[in-house]
Chain A
Amino acid sequence: ETGVTQTPRHLVMGMTNKKSLKCEQHLGHNAMYWYKQSAKKPLELMFVYNFKEQTENNSVPSRFSPECPNSSHLFLHLHTLQPEDSALYLCASSQDLASRETQYFGPGTRLLVL
């Protein structure tokens, strides 16, 4: 285990649903990241938080809404998603942005949008 947990591991939702993905890290890190991994595509960085402040939004549609209440927890709120949003959503953490070179990933949430 990497010290980064994600729940749920699998999620099926309709396009009108609202759901949230949760990430928790037990490493004492201060930077957290959301990535999207679609089949046959590279990992895409979505959001970055450093000391609870969002430092990067990589042109992500507003139907994805991140929240970072503290350095240990990161959420991704989902609403009115599209089928093309089906993917593996990965959370990662690093000591801080200066130490971003070593990121620890969670197991991911496999999302299917119907």
Chain B
Amino acid sequence: SQKIEQNSEALNIQEGKTATLTCNYTNYSPAYLQWYRQDPGRGPVFLLLIRENEKEKRKERLKVTFDTTLKQSLFHITASQPADSATYLCALEVNQAGTALIFGKGTTLSVSS
């Protein structure tokens, strides 16, 4: 069956460390993969998109990698801060003829000071 997994439901790290979140998928060949941030009681906010022909993308303290052979994306937050505490969702575009964005369940990151 097709699925997308974010390996850790929760991740706790110390301020200043690098947080690494994982997104794995099976049986898809996505044209792109996205990462969103969701705070409690709020809708997801788009962070980064990486296409299948891109290996890495950066935005400020964020870095995303995309390995289509391993079917995996890694999302890194460097020099993490308590304000980075949130749930992070990965999403795949799986239907180029339609609109399907398939989301993972998310990883809740807690950064302690």
Kindly state whether residue B84 has any CB partner on chain A within 8 Å. Answer: no
Q: Considering only CB atoms, which chain A residue lies closest to B104 in the complex? A: A42
Q: Considering only CB atoms, which chain B residue lies closest to A58 in the complex? A: B100
Contact B46 A107, beta carbon cutoff 8 Å: no
- B46 is contacted by which of A43, A56, A102 (Cβ under 8 Å)? A102
CB of B11 to closest CB in A, whole Å: 16
CB of A98 to closest CB in B, whole Å: 10
Which size bracket describes the interface of B in this complex?
20 to 34
Contact B45 A2, beta carbon cutoff 8 Å: yes
Residues of A with C-beta under 8 A to B99: 31, 33, 45, 48, 55-56, 97, 100
Kindly state whether residue B61 has any CB partner on chain A within 8 Å. Answer: no
Chain A residues within 8 Å of chain B by Cβ, number: 26
Contact B44 A43, beta carbon cutoff 8 Å: yes
Kindly state whether residue B28 has any CB partner on chain A within 8 Å. Answer: no
Residues of A with C-beta under 8 A to B43: 2, 4, 90-92, 105-108
Q: From DSSP, what is the main secondary structure of chain B's interface residues? A: strand
Kindly state whether residue B105 has any CB partner on chain A within 8 Å. Answer: yes
- B49 is contacted by which of A4, A42, A102 (Cβ under 8 Å)? A102
Contact A45 B41, beta carbon cutoff 8 Å: no
Contact B98 A56, beta carbon cutoff 8 Å: yes
CB of A29 to closest CB in B, whole Å: 13
A-B contact pairs, 27 of them (CB 8 A): A2-B43, A31-B99, A42-B89, A42-B102, A42-B103, A42-B106, A43-B44, A43-B89, A45-B99, A45-B100, A48-B99, A55-B99, A56-B98, A90-B44, A92-B43, A100-B93, A101-B32, A101-B49, A101-B93, A102-B46, A102-B49, A105-B36, A105-B43, A105-B45, A106-B43, A107-B43, A108-B41
